[in-house]
Amino acid sequence: MSYQRNIGAYLQTEQAALLGNPLAGQYLLSVNGAIDPHTPGSYVITKGSICALTLGAPLAGTEDGLQITIYSSTAFQHTLTTAGLLQTGAAAVNTATWSTSAGGQVILIAFNGKWIADANGAVFS
C-alpha cells in the first residue's frame, strides 16, 4: 500500500517555508520605549509591569503595506501611543490600551503615512 498525500495539504515544515512563521523575527519588548516604525515584524511585550510604547509614522507611499503586530504575553494594561496616526474605523486615533489579560494583540498596517489598526484584547482611544 502506498501513501499519497492529499492534494493541497502541506506538512508543517513546508507551510512554514512557504508562509513563514508569524513570530519569526520577533522582537521582545521588556522595557518602555519606542517601536521603530520602519521595522516590520512581530513584537511581544514581556515586561512584568505596564509597558508604555510609542510609535511614529511610516513613510507615506514608500512603506505602504508594512505590518507591525504587537502581542502581550503579560497581564498588564500596556499602552501604545501615537500622534493621531491610528485609523481605527472610529474617532479613536491616538492610543491603544491592552486589557489586563495576557494574549491581546494590535495589528498595524502602514498606509499613506498612518497605521490602519485592528485589535483583539485591546481598545483604542
* Mean predicted confidence (pLDDT) in 9-22: 58
Q: How far apart are CA 16 and CA 4, in angstroms?
A: 21
Per-residue pLDDT band at 26 (split at 50, 70, 90): confident
Residue 41's pLDDT band (boundaries 50, 70, 90)?
confident
Which cell goes with 35?
A: 517601536
Domains and CATH numbers, the chain: 22-124 (2.60.120)
Per-residue pLDDT tens over the stretch 108-125: 999 999 999 999 999 999
Burial status of residue 41 (CB atoms within 10 A of its CB: 0-12, 13-18, 19 or more): middle
How confident is the model at residue 92, as a pLDDT? 77
Residue 5 pLDDT > 50: no
Residue 37: CB atoms within 10 Å: 20
Identify the pLDDT of residue 3.
44
Q: What tens digit of pLDDT does each residue of 65-105 get?
A: 999 999 999 999 999 999 999 999 888 789 999 999 999 99
Q: Which three cell numbers stand for residue 80?
A: 501604545
pLDDT at 98: 97
